[in-house]
């Protein structure tokens, strides 16, 4: 399903939004993260898929491959560490901590009793746990019933204490907030709620690194960006940067969600941050969020042109398609949530009327972000029918053949 957002404008990036998130702040975050040992150096690749573009009848499809961002396996490695660093700088101004020194663990003795907590459906919690371990503070992660054991173990590897609840993602967010109040811990959440905006803003701002790297290597302007949405933070972080940079000439933004977790789609209908209408459970675990982040919505409402939903099968089919590759298209490991933007594009392309509505044609240059690799390797293998290692081995052969 697809809807036009009646509130999208073609104006330049508003000052009021620039005061919240800006290219300047995104660049500062990027510089702080540059030496963090958990990130791969040199940024992530931007691949062109010419064969798929020809098949879909567009000029180019560019894939920013965040599966290669870090050992953590997803783009979330850019958000939590920055939010944690900025939080500690605000909490202890008199200590004059240095941002890079925090991530290098230089102040671990002083911070050993400082505790942060968050709910997660996997990737944010893994990134926060890893950042806390680097900084040397304590971390508690609250998991809802549907987070796989595989993801739980990956988080625990980084020394976080795990709290498992029987409810869904939104209930885990509430549980984290309650535990924080009870124990005097600080919540480092990637979603905002009433009276809680600073930290999710810092998380979103961290994602600006992705946009910064993309525009540095682009040889031609992109016309469309397909962004998958959970609570909306990723889409807001990427879109706000590109909107500020290109102003009225910004690309068309399309936000893609699982049909069962359509909180952003519903927000577009309501004209304000809203809740999902479906079961919220989806194979796209990272996107299985029932409530829009109100802060993210402030950015998405005025600049996302279309909101659309996809079925789980569309994501699985796109995972297989991008994993296969071709003579000219590199095989890519794209996880269930990582592939959703591409799955949305393929879905539109199968419906000529919708494709025309979104302005997709032979001149379109489309950007998608592969936000995760095989962050749950067992799930990946079961869905794709091939292990991530095997796809990566074919990727290597493909690269060597260039």
Among all residues, which ones are annotated catalytic?
76, 121
Q: Does 258 bind ligand PLP (CB under 6 A)?
A: no
Distances (CA, A) of 355 to 73, 238, 254, 347, 351: 31, 23, 12, 9, 6
Query: Between β-strands 138-143 and 115-120, what pairing exists: parallel, antiparallel or unpaired?
Result: parallel
Residue 379 CB, shortest distance to ligand PLP, in Å, is 12
Site for ligand PLP in 167-206 (CB under 6 A): 190
Q: Is 329 in the site for ligand PLP (CB under 6 A)?
A: no
> Using an 8 Å Cβ cutoff, are 298 and 272 in contact?
no
- Six-digit token string for 17: 């939004």
Tell me 75's DSSP state.
Answer: G
H helices of 70-222, in order, are: 80-91, 99-103, 108-111, 123-135, 149-156, 169-183, 198-206, 208-217
Check binding of 124 to ligand PLP (CB under 6 A).
yes
Residue 262 in contact with ligand PLP, rule: CB under 6 A: no
Binding of residue 309 to ligand PLP (CB under 6 A): no
The residue among 232 and 347 lying less far from ligand PLP, judged by its C-beta, is 232
Among 107, 117, 119, 121, binds ligand PLP (CB under 6 A): 121
Position 231 contacts ligand PLP (CB under 6 A): yes
CB of residue 237 vs ligand PLP: minimum separation in angstroms? 8
Query: Do the beta carbons of residue 253 and residue 239 sit within 8 Å?
Result: yes
Q: What are phi and psi of 240, to 5 degrees?
A: -65, -40
Applying CB under 6 A, among 294, 338, 344, 373 the residue interacting with ligand PLP is: 338
Instruction: State the number of binding residues for ligand PLP (CB under 6 A).
Output: 21
Gap between the Cα atoms of 235 and 304, Å rounded: 9
230 counts as binding ligand PLP under rule CB under 6 A: yes
Q: Determine if 60 is a binding residue for ligand PLP (CB under 6 A).
A: no
Determine the interface stretch with ligand PLP among 228-236, 273-281, 297-305, 350-358 (rule: CB under 6 A). 228-236
Confirm if 113 and 96 have CB atoms less than 8 A apart.
Answer: no
Find the binding residues for ligand PLP in span 69-98 (CB under 6 A). Answer: 74, 76
Which residue of 21, 119, 186, 289 would you call a contact of ligand PLP, by CB under 6 A? Answer: 289
Residue 228 as a binder of ligand PLP (CB under 6 A): the answer is: yes
Give the nearer residue to ligand PLP in terms of CB position, either 102 or 286: 286
Alpha carbon separation from 45 to 36, 217, 319 (Å, rounded): 18, 10, 18
Smaller CB distance to ligand PLP: residue 146 or 326?
A: 146
276 Cα distance to chain centroid: 18
Closest separation in Å from C-beta 393 to ligand PLP: 23
3-class DSSP assignment, residue 82: helix
Cβ atoms of 292 and 277 closer than 8 Å: no
- What does the per-residue mask of binding to ligand PLP show for 134-173, with x meaning CB under 6 A? ----------------------------------------
Q: How far is the CB of 116 from ligand PLP (least distance, A)?
A: 17
Interface with ligand PLP, residue 234, by CB under 6 A: yes
User: 394: buried, middle or exposed (CB in 10 Å: 19+, 13-18, 0-12)?
Assistant: middle
Q: What are phi and psi of 84, to 5 degrees?
A: -65, -45
123 binds ligand PLP (CB under 6 A): yes
Q: Note the residues at the interface with ligand PLP (CB under 6 A).
A: 74, 76, 121, 123-124, 190, 228-235, 286-287, 289, 337-338, 371-372
């Amino acid at each position: 399903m697809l809807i036009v957002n009646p509130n999208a404008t073609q104006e330049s990036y508003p000052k009021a939004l620039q005061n919240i998130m800006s290219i300047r702040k995104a660049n500062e975050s990027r510089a702080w993260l540059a030496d963090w040992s958990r990130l791969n150096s040199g940024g992530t690749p931007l691949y062109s898929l010419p064969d798929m573009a020809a098949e879909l009848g567009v000029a180019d499809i560019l894939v920013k491959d965040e599966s290669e961002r870090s050992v953590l396996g997803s783009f979330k490695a850019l958000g939590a560490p920055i939010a944690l660093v900025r939080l500690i700088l605000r909490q202890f101004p008199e200590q004059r901590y240095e941002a890079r020194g925090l991530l290098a663990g230089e102040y671990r003795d002083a911070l050993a009793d400082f505790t942060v907590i968050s709910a997660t459906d996997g990737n944010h919690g893994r990134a926060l746990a890893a950042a806390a371990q680097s900084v040397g503070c304590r971390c508690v992660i609250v998991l809802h019933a549907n987070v796989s054991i595989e993801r739980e173990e990956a988080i625990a590897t980084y020394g976080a204490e795990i709290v498992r609840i029987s409810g869904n993602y939104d209930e885990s967010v509430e549980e984290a907030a309650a535990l924080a109040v009870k124990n005097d811990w600080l919540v480092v959440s990637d979603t905002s709620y009433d009276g809680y905006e600073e930290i999710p803003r810092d998380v979103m701002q961290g994602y600006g690194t992705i946009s910064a790297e993309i525009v540095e290597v682009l040889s031609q302007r992109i016309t469309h960006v397909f962004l998958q949405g959970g609570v909306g933070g990723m889409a807001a972080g990427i879109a706000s940067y590109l909107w500020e940079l290109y102003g009225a000439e910004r690309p068309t933004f399309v936000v893609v969600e699982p049909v069962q977790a359509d909180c952003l789609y519903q927000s577009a209908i309501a004209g304000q941050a809203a809740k999902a209408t479906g079961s919220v459970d989806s194979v796209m675990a990272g996107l299985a969020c029932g409530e829009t982040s109100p802060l993210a919505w402030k950015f998405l409402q005025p600049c996302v042109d279309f909101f659309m939903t996809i079925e789980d099968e569309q994501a699985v089919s796109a995972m297989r398609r991008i994993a296969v590759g071709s003579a000219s298209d590199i095989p890519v490991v794209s996880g269930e949530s990582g592939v959703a933007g591409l799955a949305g594009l393929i879905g539109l392309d199968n419906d000529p009327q919708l494709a025309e509505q979104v302005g997709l044609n032979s001149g379109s240059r489309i950007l998608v972000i592969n936000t995760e690799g095989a962050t749950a390797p067992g799930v990946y293998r079961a869905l794709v029918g091939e292990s991530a290692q095997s796809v990566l081995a074919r990727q290597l052969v493909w690269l060597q053949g260039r």
